Structure 1
Amino acid sequence: MNQTIAALPKAELHCHIEGAASPALVRKLAHRNGVALPESMFVDEHRFAWTDFHSFLAAYDRACDAMRRAEDYRDLIYDYLGRCAREGAIYVELFSSPEHAEDIGLGFPAQLEALVAGIDAAERDFGITGRLIAICLRHRGPERALWTARTMLATRHPYVVGFGMAGNELQHTPADFAPAFRLVADAGYPCTAHAGEVAGAESVRAAIDALPLSRIGHGVRASEDPRLLETIARRGIVLEVCPGSNIALGVYPDLAHHPLRRLIDAGCKVTLNSDDPPYFDTSIGREYAMAVESFGLGEDDLLHITQTAIDAAFADTETRHRLTERVAQYSRERERPPASARSAET
């Protein structure tokens, strides 16, 4: 990553908290919690070993086994936000699953308290703002989604800024989850949902028709339907695009076939995101660098993408205004002539 791209302010809207844990941190947490992990699940301290979608899920689940305590989540989000800040990120939203917290016997309130502590520490130490989106898991069904929505509303916190859905896109239909989404939307929370990653354009259309969404997780398969692209652009629905993830999981064979540029040219609002970065050998900084190297985007394009993410962020208005000012300040400083030139003028 060149110095200009490294310094450019970035914002991320699509990253799974457990999927953000580096191999080094997973090993540390496993040791602390007395969990034995097979050495074969690691390539090195930066990457996990997997070969296809099923082995990716297996590696992901094994890594999650290392996370047992509230302090694990505090350490995890602090570590990830610090890594993002070092690559120029100023804002990150992370998906957090109340169901996973319940599965490990921790509970969402305890998990949330730990995540909030990590967010506050990261903002203090690195100047980065973090927020959370509570997600339901599609493959667990509509009733569990409703439980997740109710749990989120019963444990309100200003850092939990929205509701979303992840999980297996091929199970159930978006309409099945309308009651859960209606519950949180009626309570004033914005929503997102994974669609158009594994499944095609029809998955995106079904999601935006059935659910109160202002954003779509991934959404890249919408590129297969020009009329759908027109609808997304007209409605201003923001796409949380994750090119590195899409290539790693085989949605597209390589970046030359990825539709990021096609989405932009169709007038869609896009953002850049890392999804589960250590599994896909990526990061928010690498995603921005790829946008330059593989899609021909320039610095102004990237600043526009960052501002799009800030505008689409589920954070409160004051936070979005503060972040917008940071982007504007960067732009002002970029346009100033160097000190030597100013001295020569005087």
Structure 2
Amino acid sequence: MVIPICTAVVIYVPLLLIVRDCDGMPDPAQRDLLMRQEASRQTGGQIVLTAAEQKLDAYLHRLKEQEMSAAQFPPAIHFFKAKHLIQRSSIFKLLQKMPKGAALHVHSSALVSVDWLVKNVTYRPHCYVCFTWDSSVRFLFSARPPPPRWDCFSWQLLQTLRGKLGDPTGFDNSLMQHLTLFTQDPDGEYPNQDVVWEKFEKAFIAAAGLITHAPVLRDYFYKGLEELHQDNIMYLELRSGLSRTYELDGTIHDKVWTLKTLQEVTTKFTADHPDFLGARVIVSVNRALSVSEVKAAVQEAIQLQKDFPDVVAGFDMVGREDSGRTLWYFREALSLPAELGATLPYFFHAGETDDEGTDIDQNILDALLFNTSRIGHGYALARHPLSKELAKKKNVAVELCPISNQVLKLVSDLRNHPATVLMSEGHPMVISSDDPSLFGTSGLSYDFYQAFVGIGGFKANLGTLKELAANSIRYSSLPAHLKEKGHVAWETKWDAFVADNCC
């Protein structure tokens, strides 16, 4: 029998329920049931809170009421202007103490704070700087003055340059500006996506000369793990192109050397911090490459994973989607593992766009067709019902990076982020930071704040936070036995966090 829309409301959990005729006053009991049914579908909606968790949840709700009624609501303001407000937030301070599980979407060139890069790395001996014609900088460690090259006509030894300045504070601050997007006037400096992406890419290039110096790389990666650990994170999956590293005398190391170094540093860090699970690498290449170049990169990634099964998690394509080539363009290269009978998990960036209806907009569907393990960003997913349904059926989590999406001008008010839909439907999701050093953040607390307060709104509760944190272990690339170990360790930390803050 077909039921007219005006006379019935249908819900599907746990089974079809036909609500009484809509003429007159609706049944309050059925209304309450429908509201509870809807709430059960949201992220964390199936989690039953303990008595202690309920107390903490009630406290969080009171704090959220205060923040959402304030004159300045941080998620509605550009992060660069809202950061100081967030730092004063009681919710933020609580989130800093919360065990957040894993960071699954972080790029290697933006892992460590620019303050450390400038005040530590650029003060090391033999560090040269060059100011380029396009208002950027380049750094290079060298035993002798580097020769001119196409983008750098004059190199200066930083030690000598600083010696002429007296107080180098202003100079150091100017160097930091080349390594980050952070500014007091984001709307004025970045009027559109093209401008902010240009600065974004320049910052990556500027940092490369520092990070790829072999002695720095070791310290840099250790420092990155340290910053994550300080924010109560216990595991990392790092996107990295495994750029060739260099020594002071110009000796170049290959990707195998880099992977071995990351493995050694991780081993040392976990020995120093036994509660840290470790780190793995998602080998990445830029989507601006040719098909033949990506074919070679895929084949190389297959071999690297065979040689480093505990370190290499899989493969991804990075770079701005709107100006890069589509996943479908690279279909021959991405089909290689299946053709060769090899296993190479994919972790594709897809849907980091607001250009609806373009070829780029189909990247999410193609990522799913190529069996991606997770979807990086997935900003466009909410407007693709079939892809959304397929992703949920395949249990493919979205890596939500709210601050990145806002800074790169996909959304201004995070209450309007498409992930509000995904969160209300309980779509598999993890929270990550993308490029923390470029945004002036570290760890995951800032992104958790924006997701919990802005995207989740009043509906998001302690169960939401608990599920998001647990998801980061669940949807990691760790083998099953390490996921179990990680979840047990995280749960112990979670229970301690609740006990310390519930009353």
TM > 0.5: yes
* TM value normalised by structure 2: 0.61
1:262 matches 2:353: no
1:286 aligns with 2:446: yes
Does structure 1 residue 35 correspond to structure 2 residue 131?
Answer: no
2:300 to 151, 156, 165: 151
1:106 aligns with 2:253: yes
Residues 337 and 74 (structure 1), Cα distance of their counterparts in 2 relative to 1, 3 Å cut: closer
Is residue 95 from structure 1 mapped to residue 239 from structure 2 by the alignment? yes
Q: Check whether the contact 2:285–2:294 (CA below 8 A) recurs between aligned residues.
A: yes
**Structure 1 position 276, deviation (Å):** 0.5
SS of structure 2 residue aligned to 1:13: strand
Further displaced range: 50-59 or 204-213: 204-213
Indicate which of 453, 456, 476 corresponds to 1:313: 476
1:305 Cα shift?
Answer: 1.2
Per-residue CA deviations over 1:33-73 (Å, capped at 9, x if unaligned) read 52316553424998756742111211221111222333322
State, as a whole percentage, how many aligned pairs show the same letter.
22
1:48-103 alpha-carbon deviations (Å, 9 max, x no partner): 567421112112211112223333222222111111111110111001113x3279
The aligned counterpart of 1:220 is 379
After superposition, the Cα gap between the structure-2 partners of 1:94 and 1:337, relative to the gap in structure 1 and judged at 3 Å, is closer
CA distance in 2, matches of 1:86, 1:44: 26
1:69 maps to 2:216: no
Moved more, 118-127 or 35-44: 35-44
Q: Secondary structure at the match of 1:35?
A: strand
User: SS at the partner of 1:321?
Assistant: helix
Q: CA deviation at 1:229?
A: 2.1
Tell me, what secondary structure is at the counterpart of 1:15? strand
| Residue number in structure 1 paired with 2:286 | 137
What displacement does 1:12 show?
Answer: 1.2
Q: Take 1:197 and 1:65, find their aligned partners in 2: how far apart are those partners?
A: 28
Q: What is residue 348 of structure 2 aligned with on the other side? A: 193
1:298–1:282 distance in 2 versus 1, CA, 3 Å? farther
Residue 176 of structure 1 pairs with residue 329 of structure 2:
yes
Moved more, 166-175 or 111-120: 166-175
CA distance in 1, matches of 2:487, 2:430: 15
Counterparts of 1:146 and 1:54, CA distance in 2: 27
2:397 to 199, 214, 238: 238
Q: Contact (CA 8 Å) 1:181, 1:212: kept in 2 or not?
A: no
Structure 2, unmatched stretches of 5+, are 1-91, 131-136, 138-170, 184-188, 191-195
User: Post-superposition shift, 1:176?
Assistant: 3.0
| Whole-angstrom distance in 1 between the partners of 2:178 and 2:398 | 32
In structure 1, C-alpha distance between the alignment counterparts of 2:229 and 2:337, rounded to whole Å: 31
Tell me, in whole angstroms, the C-alpha distance in 1 between the residues paired with 2:245 and 2:182. Answer: 25
- What amino acid sits opposite 1:274 in the alignment? S
Give the whole-Å Cα distance in 1 for the aligned partners of 2:203 and 2:498. 46
What is the aligned partner in structure 2 of residue 163 from structure 1? 315
The residue identity in structure 2 corresponding to 1:273 is S
Which amino acid is the alignment partner of residue 329 of structure 1?
T
Residue pair 2:353, 2:379 contacting (<8 A) in 1 also: no
The structure with the largest alpha-carbon Rg is 2
CA–CA distance in structure 1, aligned partners of residues 215 and 484 of structure 2: 31
Using the TM superposition, give the Cα deviation of residue 120 of structure 1 relative to its aligned residue in structure 2, in angstroms.
1.6
SS in 2 for 1:162: strand
Correspondence for 1:250: 409
Tell me which protein shows more helix as a share of its residues.
Answer: 1
Pair 43,7 (structure 1): closer, same or farther in 2 beyond 3 Å: same
User: Does 23-32 or 88-97 show the bigger shift?
Assistant: 23-32
Q: CA deviation at 1:142?
A: 2.3
Which range moves more in the overlay, 259-268 or 83-92?
259-268
In 1, distance between residues paired with 2:468 and 2:500?
A: 25
Q: Give the corresponding residue for 2:465.
A: 302
Q: Is the 8 A contact 1:242 1:275 kept in 2?
A: yes
Higher relative contact order (CA 8 A, sep 6+): 2
What's the offset of the Cα at 1:150? 2.3
Q: Check whether the contact 2:179–2:438 (CA below 8 A) recurs between aligned residues.
A: no
**Partners of 1:251 and 1:176 in 2: CA distance:** 24
- Alpha-carbon offset, residue 270 of structure 1: 0.8
Residues 1:23 and 2:114 aligned together: yes
Stretch of structure 1 that moved more, 197-206 or 110-119:
197-206
Partners of 1:23 and 1:48 within 8 A in 2:
no
- What is the match of residue 125 of structure 1? 272
8 A Cα contact 1:15 1:94, kept in partner: yes
> 2:380 and 2:333 mapped to 1: Cα distance?
25
Q: Amino acid of the residue matched to residue 244 of structure 2? A: A
CA shift, 1:311, in A, is: 1.5
Flag the 1:228–1:107 CA change in 2: closer, same or farther, 3 A: same
204-213 or 254-263, which deviates more: 204-213
Aligned AA (1:26): L
Distance 2:332 2:127 in 1: 40
Q: Structure 1 residues 109, 85: closer, same or farther in 2, change over 3 A?
A: same
Residue in 2 that maps onto 1:344:
none
Deviation at 1:336, TM superposition (A): 6.0
Unaligned runs of 5+ in 1: 342-346
Could you say what the CA RMSD is over the residues aligned between the two structures, in angstroms?
2.8
Q: For the residues of structure 2 that align with 1:218 and 1:16, how far apart are their CA atoms?
A: 13
Give 1:55's match in structure 2, choosing from 163, 180, 199.
Answer: 199
Amino acid at match of 1:101: R
Letter in 2 for 1:169: E
Displacement of 1:17:
0.6
Shift of 1:225: 2.7
Letter in 2 for 1:327: W
Call closer, same or farther: CA 1:184–1:35 in 2, change over 3 Å. Answer: farther
CA 1:44–1:162: 2 relative to 1, 3 Å: closer
In 2, Cα distance between equivalents of 1:223 and 1:142: 29
Whole-Å Cα distance in 2 between the matches of residues 9 and 67 of structure 1? 27
The answer to whether residue 222 in structure 2 is matched with residue 78 in structure 1 is yes
